[in-house]
């Protein structure tokens, strides 16, 4: 006998219905007041809920949606990319066995296309690259930009050089 149980805004309002039934059991006149009491209690309950809404799973940060779903998607994409990098490193042949074209492909993948012609001209394969110093890049190969020399050396170390 719960005719006054209401489903409003996703909330099951059992407590107001029980309160209304208690009042109804007191007198017959109270029976006429039950719908009003239920509505009043429900409105009070809903108004407090509107003032203190439940936190949502979506948070706005710097104008971007940072919902759990998009976070999970980004996270799984990052993990896939990391897995691909590790797999490529494990299946890659040792640096000493690289051909000139392997070195060229790595330079292109690293965004250092401007040195492809130099590498081809000087026939720098993996074994030669392993012997190059920063001074060789500058003096012998004409890489005068300090940042580029540092990036080339860092790339060498990242690929398994010593």
pLDDT tens for 120-151 read 999 999 999 899 999 999 999 999 999 999 99
Is 153's pLDDT higher than 70?
yes
Question: Helices 28-51 and 14-26: crossing angle, nearest 10°?
Answer: 160
Sign, CA torsion 151/155/161/162: positive
Is 35's pLDDT higher than 80?
no
The confidence score (pLDDT) of residue 115 equals 93
Q: Is the model more confident about 61 or about 45?
A: 45
pLDDT band, residue 1 (cuts 50/70/90)? very low
Q: Output the CA angle 95-135-155, nearest 5 degrees.
A: 35
Q: Are 1 and 27 in contact (CB under 8 A)?
A: no
Helix (H, G, I), strand (E, B) or coil at 8: strand
CATH class of 93-158: mainly alpha
Most confident region among 27-31, 47-51, 80-84, 105-109 by mean pLDDT: 105-109
Is 42's pLDDT higher than 80?
no
Extended strands (E) in the chain: 6-8, 11-13, 60-61, 64-65
The structural domains of the chain, with segments of one domain joined by +, span 6-51, 93-158
Query: Could you tell me which of 61, 60, 19 has the C-alpha nearest to residue 39?
Result: 19
Q: Is the model more confident about 111 or about 10?
A: 111
């Amino acid at each position: 006998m719960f005719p006054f149980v209401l489903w409003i805004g996703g909330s099951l309002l059992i407590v107001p219905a029980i309160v209304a039934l208690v009042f109804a059991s007191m007198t017959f006149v109270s029976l006429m007041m039950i719908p009003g009491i239920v509505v009043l209690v429900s409105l009070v309950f809903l108004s407090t809920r509107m003032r203190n809404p439940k936190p949502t799973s979506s948070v706005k940060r710097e104008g971007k949606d940072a919902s759990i779903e998009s976070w999970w998607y980004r996270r799984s994409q990052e993990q896939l990319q990391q897995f691909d990098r590790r797999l490529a490193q494990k299946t890659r042949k040792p640096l000493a066995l690289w051909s000139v074209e392997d070195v060229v492909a790595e330079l292109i993948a690293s965004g250092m296309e401007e040195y492809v012609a130099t590498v081809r001209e000087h026939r720098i394969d993996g074994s030669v690259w392993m012997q190059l110093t920063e001074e060789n890049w500058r003096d012998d190969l004409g890489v005068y930009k300090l940042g580029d020399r540092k990036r080339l050396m860092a790339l060498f170390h990242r690929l398994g050089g010593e």
